[in-house]
Amino acid sequence: MESLSNTTQEKKSLFQWIRKYNKQFIGFITTILALLFISPYIYIIFTSIKPSSEAISNSPTFFPREFSIENYVSMFDQMPILSYFFNSFITAFISTVLSVFLGALAAYGLARFSSKLGNVFLLITLCIRMIPMISIAIPMYIIINSMGLIDTHAALIITYTSINVPFAIWLMMGFFNNIPKEFDEAARIDGCNIFTSFLKVILPVSLPGLATTSIFCFMLAWNDFLFALLLTSTNAKTATVGISEFLTAYNLDLGPMTAAAVSFSLPVMIFSILVQRYIVSGMTLGSVKG
């Protein structure tokens, strides 16, 4: 009996210890996992500020022995990287605006005027979004080529918009379903038609949802490599394709490549961190009915 009592007390003390240090333990594990997850990116940052000879050394080190901006200077000397960044931004920005606007229109109509046909349309859009991008790459190339738009901004804008619209519809549906229909009725009483009430009443109320959808659509277009590689060659080449060209069959410019990768990704990562709470609040708003 005494040994059983001691065992029970030990278990209670163990549970009390776990409850007391639960948050600290979870925080410690989360910190370790986060460091492991971002360590490759930290290595890329450190490599970008190493001298070129040290970046391709046979005995690489994690931390640079000396700091240098040589790779960033070389990045601009070797290729028109600013032009590639501009192409990435303009195609991602315009396609995001079109995707969110068209997706919001479709989502509003499906949310306010639900029907069996509308449900079938929703199912079709979901199935389209689930199709692997690699499986539609060749058909998209044939369509864009037949339109004479190869190596143009329009080719990428059309492609990214067609890919992002189904995603925008499904994401915006959750936000519009949470907006009471009394808002529409009040706008009708004030003399607004359906489109005017959508623009002047519903869209301002759903700004968190629009912001969340815009961020995700922009990220999908900004980070694309497959379609940018397939549909562009010179004039509309994006940063993702340009960065890959530092690697050739005969050479690897690791230093300038890491400098370009940091320049391409760091601003977006900082922006994502700054708007993280808006993304979370927007996703939560769109997932809860009430």
**Considering the entire predicted model, what is its pTM?**
0.80
- Which of 105, 93, 98 has the alpha carbon at shortest distance from 173? 105
Q: How confident is the model at residue 112 (pLDDT cuts 50, 70, 90)?
A: confident
Average pLDDT of the chain? 81
Percent of the chain with pLDDT over 90: 20
Q: What is the pLDDT of residues 60-95, one digit of tens each?
A: 777 888 888 888 888 888 888 889 999 999 999 999
Distance, in Å, from the CA atom of 262 to the CA atom of 110, rounded to the nearest integer, reads 41
Residue 14 has pLDDT above 80, yes or no: no
Token digits of residue 13? 């003390």
pLDDT value of position 128: 78
pLDDT in tens, 173-187: 878 877 777 777 787
Kindly state the tokens that stand for 181.
């229909």
End-to-end CA separation in angstroms for the chain? 55
SS3 label, residue 289: coil
Q: Three-state SS for 247?
A: strand
Please report which confidence band the pLDDT of residue 34 belongs to, taking 50, 70 and 90 as the band edges.
Answer: confident
pLDDT, position 5: 53
Query: Largest Cα–Cα distance in the chain?
Result: 87
What pLDDT is attached to residue 145?
Answer: 92
DSSP secondary structure letter of residue 199: I
Distance CA 66, CA 99 (A): 46
Q: What pLDDT digit, counting tens, does each position of 206-252 carry?
A: 877 888 888 888 988 999 999 999 999 888 999 999 888 887 757 77
Q: Specify whether the CB–CB gap between 198 and 76 falls below 8 A.
A: no
Instruction: Give the burial string for 140-150 (b: 16+ CB within 10 Å, else e).
Output: bbeebeeeebb
Report pLDDT for 231: 92
Helices (H), the chain: 2-20, 22-48, 52-55, 70-78, 81-112, 116-130, 133-146, 153-177, 182-189, 194-197, 203-205, 207-222, 226-231, 239-244, 254-274, 276-287
CB neighbourhood size of 286 (10 A): 22
pLDDT at 2: 46
One DSSP character per residue, 101-129 reads: HHHHHHHHHHHHS--HHHHHHHHHHHHHH
Query: What's the whole-number mean pLDDT along residues 29-36?
Result: 86
Q: For 39-54, what is the mean pLDDT?
A: 84
Does position 123 have pLDDT exceeding 70, yes or no?
yes
Domains defined for the chain, CATH in brackets: 1-69 (no CATH), 80-246 (1.10.3720.10)
The answer for 216, left when phi > 0, alpha when psi is -120 to 50, beta otherwise, is alpha
Cβ atoms of 164 and 224 within 8 Å: the answer is no
Is residue 247 within 8 A of residue 78, CB to CB? The reply is no
The pair of structure tokens assigned to 77 is 């000397």
Token digits of residue 244: 């890959």
Please tell me the predicted confidence (pLDDT) of residue 65.
Answer: 80
The 3-state DSSP class for residue 233 equals coil
- Residue 157 has a pLDDT of 95
| Residue 192: how many other CB atoms lie within 10 Å | 16
Which position has the token pair 């492609």? Answer: 159
How confident is residue 290, by pLDDT bands cut at 50, 70 and 90? very low
- The pair of three-digit structure tokens given for residue 59, joined into one six-digit string: 């005995």
Question: In the predicted model, is pLDDT for residue 8 greater than 70?
Answer: no
pLDDT of residue 214: 87
Please state, for a pLDDT cut of 70, what percent of the chain lies above it.
Answer: 86
Q: What is the mean pLDDT of residues 138-144?
A: 91
For 240-289, what is each residue's pLDDT tens digit? 998 888 877 577 778 888 888 888 887 777 777 776 666 666 555 544 44
- Under the banding of pLDDT at 50, 70 and 90, the label for residue 154 is very high
Give the pLDDT confidence score for residue 158 in this predicted structure.
94
